[in-house]
Amino acid sequence: MIATMETLNDLDAPTKSAVIDLLYRLADDAIIIGHRGSEWTGFAPILEEDIAFSSMAQDDMGHALTFYQMLHELGEPDPDTNVFGRKLEQWKCASLVSLCSKRDWAKSLVRKYFYDVAESLRLESLAQGSLVPLAQLARKLSSEKKYHLMHGHMWMPRLGQGTDESHQLMQDAVDTLYPHALGMFESTGADDLLDQAGIFLREDELRKRWVAAVDKVLGESSLKINAKASPVYGGRSGKHPDDLATLLDGMQLVYKLDPSAKW
């Protein structure tokens, strides 16, 4: 029988560091995909999609903020310092969200969809977990994810089966991104502790669920997966593609001019 933890104070020291590790992964993935989404504001192929995509980017950034706030409650730096002051190697996001996809709409959509399926499964697992404040937060956030998934499920078959050109663009996006998507489930030292404490599923279990959900929708969208694709790991331990360095240079530029400035 797994004991329920009503507050963050109920965590013992090793489990607390495992939760901190998990929250950084969740928060960093969410803020970076949100930032990538915001790069389409004003540039998405149609007006309606421009608004929808930007609005979802705001949702993702909002999710990130709640995770950073919880990290702050656990003794980590405040959200602004964390987002604008951290060095490249201190970030824990997966390469899937770090990759730049400017001007590649198919890649941006497929990436967002891959991420949304993963975040939904993560929230579902947390919502059923033993750490009450995190379970409550996950339940709250999953309402917005429902729409993000609906959006992805709407686009995937329409572009996968649209024209020859749209099919090819989507297939290229899947081929490029699938290994990076699998990299989201890179296991960390926190896996066992989180699983034993009943807080969160193991990454390999989440990956199984993700693959099953995504394979189904890709199949229905006439898109193929390279079953031999091997995951791109590294993000969870601070090894990132150059694209993330470029993103952080831009995102942190103003803050770094004067970190003590009041806004």
- Give me the residues that bind another protein (CB under 8 A), please: 46-49, 51-52, 55-56, 147, 150-151, 154, 158
Q: Let me know: does 226 contact 178? Beta carbons within 8 Å.
A: yes
Q: How far is the CB of 154 from another protein (least distance, A)?
A: 5
- In the complex with another protein, the residue whose CB is nearer, 46 or 261, is 46
Of 33, 151, 39, give the one whose Cα is nearest residue 96: 33
CB of 240 to another protein, least distance (A): 31
Q: How far apart are CA 240 and CA 245, in angstroms?
A: 8
Rounded-to-integer distance, Cα 252 and Cα 184, Å? 24
Distance CA 58, CA 101 (A): 18
Residue 109 CA to residue 106 CA, distance in Å, equals: 5
* Torsion angles phi and psi, residue 79, rounded to 5: -55, -45
In whole angstroms, how close is the CB of 129 to another protein at the nearest point? Answer: 29
Nearer to another protein, 2 or 150 (CB): 150
CB of 55 to another protein, least distance (A): 5
Residue whose CB is less far from another protein, 17 or 55: 55
Report the 3 state secondary structure along 133-146.
Answer: HHHHHHHHHHHHHH
Q: Given the complex with another protein, which of 162 and 231 has the nearer CB atom?
A: 162
Among candidates 118, 208, 117, which has minimal Cα distance to 156? 117
Structure tokens at 107: 């890649």
- The residue (of 150 and 254) whose beta carbon lies closer to another protein is 150
Min dist CB 166 to another protein, Å, is 12
Closest approach of another protein to the CB of residue 130, in Å: 33
87 or 140: whose CB is closer to another protein?
Answer: 140
| Dihedral pair phi/psi, residue 92, rounded to 5° | -120, 15
Q: Which is nearer to another protein, 163 or 230 (CB)?
A: 163
User: What is the C-alpha separation between 100 and 171, in angstroms, rounded?
Assistant: 18
With 0-12 CB in 10 A as exposed, 13-18 as middle and 19+ as buried, what is 170? buried
Work out how close the CB of 110 gets to another protein at its nearest, in angstroms, rounded to a whole number. Answer: 17
